[in-house]
């Protein structure tokens, strides 16, 4: 009975609440509270998709200057014929979903945002004492959670402090030293909005507490500590005082809710700092875990940890998918959690027990002084991995002889690949790389077939730890120490940066006033989060070091006081001489996996590099961001690729049925809905990642009238 009710609730969420069949909505990020990315709509199907055409488009920034690199990754929501979305300048807007006509727009009253990956919004409707039925839109910008009237976009001044809640409050730390935002929208259960967060990935980061707020008042309702406090489950998996100072173990990728059970399923990322666990000995619960919490109280029901004592940045990078799998007439309610490792953790929804056995296997020890890598790690064999799980010389790219020779030479400098080998002083191949496997787009589930669809990236990285002697007897020495611990992972030990993720700092002394650089460090800018946790003297010291280095000063050491710092040497993509991945294609794939048997049904390349196609190289696939949508009409809909296309495939076999050249890449999950009997597919075209142009448009498609 519970499985039937859960399925009906999911379908009702897709259908919406308007009468007479006027609307079939997409009211929730991911399509429904269970994040299935599934729609019952069938008007656009494998027989009619060839007649699909552009119905409307909306330029959300209205000609205003766009940031060079957009983080607009919005899966829009559509409620009662109104589409709600965001633009690259942080505005929230409402459109007539049938025409794209703007109804209202709202600019949050906040001056400095820093990194703010915008992936969606949250909708709530309910009775408010003295006001009757209200509909609200909740969203985040910077470290604030805002509430607006869904009718006109005006702030709900009775929510929090005049319409906003400061997410830094209540974390048990000095809020002036916390950097926090929420890239994925919160989830609603009854009258609560449940929030995760993104934090910095270095030492001094905020803790990743999961918190629920009253939707009406903005008051904090409950907190779950992902870094356990004394007396809480998991406390003994950390050093005794870690709860006071440790950070991360945060849920940045979104959450899913079983509304019938009253359970929220939370995926967490790695503890901080990434790649260095010397100050956080132990398994580090609840980092890298799927956690089932009572949605009303925040109490833990169960957890499953996918990586112990993470040294590889193996975050659980998407909201779980709540699936009901039917096998031999028996229905099972399960949680399907995709991962950067390119595997699916398939767990029973009530207990967290794996459906298929997951072995704890021995893994190599760390060679870094003071580091204690966990001796074993979970290893999934079923469901079948959707990304290769090893990397040997036979896997090196051979798209042409010159490429093969180039990457073979680089490979020879790295240690032999081993499952979950900790980074050491010699380079190792991390495969899949930092960005997956799967990323935040997550998967789509078709309840009629047990098939789970997931897009993936197959691109390796070369990573290592560097031992550096730093002089702590001068401000330059302090600055070097702070730079290597806090900044070099993104900007490089040599200040060269890692294109296109972090800019080079060479020559900064000639291009950027130090006062502006200081403001960026403290407040954040673009992709960079604020480093507000650094004390003033460390900010000044790191700026002195960077500006001296950029002017040619090598920062010679005085020798009075030195310390060996073991620092992450940066996000080094393992690439060929033309910046293509060093592994044999495919580099990006779309996969169909039967969750009943655990077997992969099919896999196809996703995305194309025109230059390689012109050279006669078969389609390679590309890195990709954003998820798929599957429909009862037989379609699998996805954008996600840097070749700036929206594609629709036959969900049964992966055959390409239709494609459209977008004005900018759609690094977002599409949505589909119906108004007055006409089905639409909408995609956010933001670009800005993977070196592609930035955009601001929303495009909606429908069958020709």
Burial class (CB in 10 A: 0-12, 13-18, 19+), 367: middle
Contact in structure between 283 and 374 (CB atoms under 8 Å): yes
Residues 146 and 213 both lie in one domain = yes
Report whether the peptide linkage leading into residue 704 is cis, meaning its omega lies within 30 degrees of zero: no
Residues 55 and 181 both lie in one domain = yes
Least Cα distance to 286 among 335, 250, 246 occurs for 250
Strands of 82-86's sheet, edge to edge? 77-79, 82-86, 92-96, 102-106
Residues 317 and 343 both lie in one domain = yes
Contact in structure between 694 and 68 (CB atoms under 8 Å): yes
Distance, in Å, from the CA atom of 339 to the CA atom of 22, rounded to the nearest integer, reads 38
Q: Provide the CATH number for the domain around residue 233.
A: 2.140.10.10
Distance, in Å, from the CA atom of 659 to the CA atom of 638, rounded to the nearest integer, reads 10
Distance, in Å, from the CA atom of 447 to the CA atom of 452, rounded to the nearest integer, reads 9
Domain range for 506 is: 465-568
**The pTM of the whole model exceeds 0.75:** yes
Which of 550, 568, 586 corresponds to the end of one domain?
Answer: 568
Q: Provide the CATH number for the domain around residue 549.
A: 1.10.760.10
Q: Which two tokens stand for residue 192?
A: 């609560």
Contact in structure between 317 and 253 (CB atoms under 8 Å): yes
From residue 233, how far is each of 229, 511, 587, 610 by CA, in Å?
Answer: 8, 51, 40, 52
Which of 538, 568, 598 corresponds to the end of one domain?
Answer: 568
Those residues with Cβ within 8 angstroms of residue 470's Cβ, 6 or more apart along the chain or in another chain: 477, 480, 481, 484, 557, 562, 563, 564, 565
Distance, in Å, from the CA atom of 441 to the CA atom of 626, rounded to the nearest integer, reads 4
Q: Please state at what angle helix 536-550 crosses helix 514-523, rounded to 10 degrees.
A: 130
From residue 92, how far is each of 13, 603, 631, 668, 696 by CA, in Å?
Answer: 22, 37, 28, 16, 13
Residues 553 and 656 both lie in one domain = no
Q: Which two tokens stand for residue 262?
A: 């009253």
Residues 496 and 506 both lie in one domain = yes
| Secondary structure element (H or E) that encloses residue 489, with its range | helix 488-491
Distance, in Å, from the CA atom of 348 to the CA atom of 118, rounded to the nearest integer, reads 31
Burial class (CB in 10 A: 0-12, 13-18, 19+), 145: buried
Contact in structure between 137 and 123 (CB atoms under 8 Å): yes
- Helix ranges, 31-117 (H): none
Q: Residue 469 CB: number of other CB atoms within 10 A?
A: 12
How many independent structural domains does the chain possess?
A: 2
Distance, in Å, from the CA atom of 539 to the CA atom of 219, rounded to the nearest integer, reads 34
Distance, in Å, from the CA atom of 132 to the CA atom of 297, rounded to the nearest integer, reads 26
Residues 547 and 584 both lie in one domain = no
* Greatest distance between any 2 Cα atoms in the chain: 80
pLDDT at 114: 63
Contact in structure between 424 and 464 (CB atoms under 8 Å): yes
Residues of the chain with pLDDT under 70: 1-21, 111-116, 472-476, 498-501, 526-527, 529, 554-560
Instruction: Identify the residue whose tokens are 């074993």.
Output: 376
Residues 505 and 449 both lie in one domain = no
Strand pairing category for 629-631 and 38-39: parallel
Q: What are phi and psi of 527, to 5 degrees?
A: -75, -15
The separation between the first and the last C-alpha atoms of the chain, rounded to the nearest angstrom, is 41
Residues 551 and 644 both lie in one domain = no
Q: Please state at what angle helix 475-482 crosses helix 536-550, rounded to 10 degrees.
A: 90
Those residues with Cβ within 8 angstroms of residue 19's Cβ, 6 or more apart along the chain or in another chain: none
Burial class (CB in 10 A: 0-12, 13-18, 19+), 54: exposed
Residues 436 and 551 both lie in one domain = no
Indicate the SS3 state at residue 686: strand
Contact in structure between 395 and 408 (CB atoms under 8 Å): no
- Residues found in the chain: 705
Residues 583 and 556 both lie in one domain = no
Contact in structure between 256 and 33 (CB atoms under 8 Å): yes
Least Cα distance to 518 among 547, 559, 493 occurs for 547
Burial class (CB in 10 A: 0-12, 13-18, 19+), 356: middle
From residue 124, how far is each of 24, 148, 176, 215 by CA, in Å?
Answer: 17, 10, 31, 8
Residues 458 and 469 both lie in one domain = no
Distance, in Å, from the CA atom of 683 to the CA atom of 646, rounded to the nearest integer, reads 8
| Secondary structure element (H or E) that encloses residue 645, with its range | strand 645-650
**Strands, DSSP E only, in 60-166?**
77-79, 82-86, 92-96, 102-106, 122-128, 132-141, 144-149, 164-166
Which of 521, 546, 568 corresponds to the end of one domain?
Answer: 568
Residues 625 and 553 both lie in one domain = no
pLDDT at 650: 98
Rg (CA), the chain: 24
Distance, in Å, from the CA atom of 689 to the CA atom of 147, rounded to the nearest integer, reads 29
pLDDT at 113: 65
DSSP assignment of 202-235: STTPPB--EEEEETTT--EEEEE-SSPPTTSTTG
Q: Residue 429 CB: number of other CB atoms within 10 A?
A: 24
DSSP assignment letter at 629: E
Least Cα distance to 193 among 101, 106, 298 occurs for 298
Distance, in Å, from the CA atom of 429 to the CA atom of 390, rounded to the nearest integer, reads 10
Least Cα distance to 588 among 381, 417, 342, 405 occurs for 342
| Secondary structure element (H or E) that encloses residue 248, with its range | strand 247-248
DSSP assignment letter at 484: I
Burial class (CB in 10 A: 0-12, 13-18, 19+), 149: middle
């Amino acid at each position: 009975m519970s499985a039937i009710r859960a399925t009906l609730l999911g379908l009702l969420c897709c259908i919406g609440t308007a009468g007479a069949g006027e609307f079939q909505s997409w009211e929730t990020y991911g399509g429904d509270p269970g994040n299935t990315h599934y729609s019952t709509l069938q008007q656009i199907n494998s027989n009619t998709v060839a007649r699909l055409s552009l119905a409307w488009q909306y330029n959300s920034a209205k000609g205003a200057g766009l940031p060079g690199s957009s983080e607009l990754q919005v899966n829009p929501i559509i409620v009662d014929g109104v589409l709600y979305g965001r633009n690259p300048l942080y505005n929230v807007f409402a459109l007539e979903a049938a025409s794209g006509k703007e109804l209202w727009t709202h600019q949050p009253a906040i001056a400095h945002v820093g990194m703010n990956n915008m992936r969606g919004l949250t909708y709530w409707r309910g009775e408010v004492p003295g006001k009757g039925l209200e509909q609200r839109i909740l969203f985040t910008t910077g470290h604030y959670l805002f509430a607006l009237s869904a009718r006109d976009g005006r702030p709900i001044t009775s929510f929090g402090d005049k319409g906003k809640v400061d997410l830094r409050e209540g974390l048990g730390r000095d809020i002036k030293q916390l950097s926090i935002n929420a890239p994925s929208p919160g989830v609603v259960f009854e009258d609560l909005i449940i929030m995760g967060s993104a934090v910095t990935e270095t030492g001094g980061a905020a803790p990743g507490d999961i918190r629920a707020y009253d939707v009406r008042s903005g008051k904090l309702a409950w907190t779950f500590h992902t870094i356990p406090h004394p007396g809480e489950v998991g406390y003994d998996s950390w050093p005794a005082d870690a709860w006071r100072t440790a950070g991360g173990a945060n849920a940045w990728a979104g959450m899913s809710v079983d509304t019938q059970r009253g359970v929220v399923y939370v995926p967490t990322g790695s503890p901080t700092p990434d790649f260095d666990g010397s100050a956080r000995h132990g398994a580090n619960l609840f980092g890298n875990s799927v956690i089932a919490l009572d949605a009303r109280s925040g109490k833990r029901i169960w957890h499953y940890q996918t990586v112990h004592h993470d040294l590889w940045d193996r975050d659980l990078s998407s909201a779980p998918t709540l699936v009901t799998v039917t096998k031999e007439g028996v229905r099972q309610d399960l949680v399907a959690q995709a991962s950067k490792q390119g595997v699916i953790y398939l767990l029973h929804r009530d207990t967290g027990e794996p459906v298929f056995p997951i072995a704890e296997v021995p893994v190599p020890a760390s060679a870094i002084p003071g580091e204690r890598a966990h001796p074993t790690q979970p290893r999934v064999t079923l469901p079948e991995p959707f990304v290769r799980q090893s990397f040997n010389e036979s896997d090196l790219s051979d798209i042409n002889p010159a490429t093969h020779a180039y990457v073979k030479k680089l490979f020879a400098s790295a240690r032999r690949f081993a499952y979950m080998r900790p980074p050491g002083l010699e380079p190792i191949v991390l495969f899949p790389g930092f960005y997956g496997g799967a990323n935040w787009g997550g998967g789509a589930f078709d309840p009629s077939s047990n098939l789970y669809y997931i897009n993936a990236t197959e691109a390796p990285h070369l990573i290592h730890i560097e031992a550096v002697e730093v002089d702590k007897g001068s401000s330059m020495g302090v600055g070097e120490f702070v730079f290597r611990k806090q900044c070099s992972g993104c900007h490089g030990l040599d200040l060269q940066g890692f294109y296109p993720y972090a800019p080079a700092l060479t020559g900064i002394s000639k291009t950027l006033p130090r006062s502006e650089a200081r403001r960026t460090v403290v407040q954040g800018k673009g992709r960079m989060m604020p480093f507000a946790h650094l004390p003033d003297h460390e900010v000044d010291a790191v700026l002195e070091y960077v500006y001296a280095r950029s002017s040619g000063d090598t920062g010679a050491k005085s020798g009075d006081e030195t310390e060996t710092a073991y620092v992450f040497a940066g996000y080094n993509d393992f690439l060929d001489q033309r910046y293509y991945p060093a592994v044999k294609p495919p580099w990006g794939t779309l996969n169909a996996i039967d969750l009943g048997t655990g077997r992969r049904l099919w896999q196809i390349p996703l995305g194309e590099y025109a230059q390689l196609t012109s050279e006669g190289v078969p389609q390679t696939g590309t890195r990709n961001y954003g998820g798929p949508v599957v429909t009862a009409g037989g379609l699998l809909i996805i954008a996600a690729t840097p070749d700036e296309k929206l594609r629709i495939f036959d969900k049964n076999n992966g055959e390409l049925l239709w494609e459209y050249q977008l004005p900018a890449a759609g690094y977002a999950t599409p949505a589909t809905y119906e108004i007055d009997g006409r089905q639409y597919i909408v995609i956010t075209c933001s670009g800005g990642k993977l070196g592609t142009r930035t955009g601001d448009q929303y495009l909606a498609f429908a069958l020709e009238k």
